Amino acid sequence: MKRSRFTESQIVSILKEADAGAKIKDLCRKHGISDATYYNWKAKYGGMSTSDLRRLKETEAELSQYKKMYAELAHENYALKDLIEKKPLRPLDKREAAQHLVAKHELSKTKACAAVQLSRSSWYRQPSQQAVRDQPVIDALNTMLKKYPRWGFWMCYDRMRLDGHAWNHKRVYRVYTAMKLNLPRRKKRRLPQRVQQPMVVEARANAEWSLDFMSDALYHGRRFRTLNVLDEGVREALDIVIDTSIPGARVVRTLDRLIEWRGKPDAIRVDNGPEYISQVFSEWCEKHGIKLNYIQPGKPNQNAYIERFNRTYRHEVLNAYVFESLRQVREITRAWIIEYNEERPHDSLGKIPPAMFRRQVENARNSTLELCH
């Protein structure tokens, strides 16, 4: 693998120049890199600090050790790796793959058949000429489609049954697809059925978090996004991530950092955005044992806590200032989060700040536990 001429620290400094307001094209021309290289760096190192880079290097060192552990493979595994290019699918293909293992890698017939999941009887059985056996079906399909070129499979099959052909529909469809007569239809991507989740949340920390994205622009027109994380049980703002793009991997990295500081939530409430329905995010939640509560599409009121928080954040920060750089947005937002959690009274919490409410809940819970003991 070609080694990059930039170190991780240099890459982070280049990304910080972009956050300060430098244009991407000017930045790429200055450092002699392409736009694709810049966005690959941003997806991998965006929002990282020196400590994050150190942790990334340690992880890469561990991965290199694991790679060395798997460097020595057994003779049968090496043979299977050489077989990957053949992609055995049908019994005929599996038979050819098994013959390849026996001839080139000198495996026994038993091991070769077991490796490609082929029965011993299929090894010794002589393959039949399928094209000759299916020739009547091919001729019938060609005759039908020559006369009715716009008919689909089921229309052709029903007509063939009326004409007296007794072929099974599975056999006809296999020949139909082998002749590449089936035209794929583009289907609209549909979300799974979402069940409405109740808005009842236990009044304690880490009972349920909610996430949502917002969008705004700097003074010179450059767009940026914010990822807002709220603890619904105590209405406390945990973090607001600000960047020009926040992919699913960045969301996972942010939640890992919050869990190290705050602890793991029991559940997370999100909408159906692409970052939340991505495989990276769903697998991360399953790995950590966190329940995912998706709201129904087009029903933002089912995520009312974070929507109310977004309104406050937009009214008091995004609409109140004219930002010149992402650094300025982050600094003002960081100060506002402290003010929101420590000083700003919250009506639903008895007109006290969220941090004070969380401490009261924790003290009451600790007192109850002491009485029980």
- Could you state, in chain order, the average pLDDT of each consecutive group of 10 residues for the chain (373 residues)? 69 77 80 83 74 76 75 62 57 81 85 81 75 86 85 87 90 88 63 61 86 93 93 92 91 92 91 87 92 86 90 93 93 94 88 90 73 53
Q: Helices 50-69 and 8-19 meet at what angle, rounded to 10?
A: 140
Tokens 């639903």, residue? 348
| Helix H or strand E segment including 108 | none
Report the candidate in 50, 311, 364 with the shortest Cα–Cα distance to residue 203.
364
> Taking the domain 209-372, which CATH number applies?
3.30.420.10
User: Which amino acid type is present at position 240?
Assistant: I
**Per-residue model confidence (pLDDT) at position 192:** 58
CA dihedral 300, 301, 306, 307 (to 10 degrees): 80
C-alpha 286/C-alpha 273 separation (Å) is 18
Q: Determine contact, residues 129/154, Cβ cutoff 8 Å.
A: no
**Per-residue model confidence (pLDDT) at position 309:** 93
Report the candidate in 212, 190, 215, 204 with the shortest Cα–Cα distance to residue 302.
212
**Per-residue model confidence (pLDDT) at position 307:** 92
**Per-residue model confidence (pLDDT) at position 330:** 94
Residues in the chain: 373
User: Sheet holding 291-294: strands in order across?
Assistant: 236-243, 223-231, 209-217, 267-270, 291-294
pTM of the predicted protein model: 0.51
**Per-residue model confidence (pLDDT) at position 1:** 47
Ordered DSSP codes for 154-207: HHHHHHHHHTT----HHHHHHHHHHTT-PPP------PPPPPPPP----SSTTS
Indicate the domain borders of the chain.
Answer: 8-69, 75-124, 130-178, 209-372
Mention every residue, 6+ apart, whose C-beta is less than 8 A from residue 55.
none
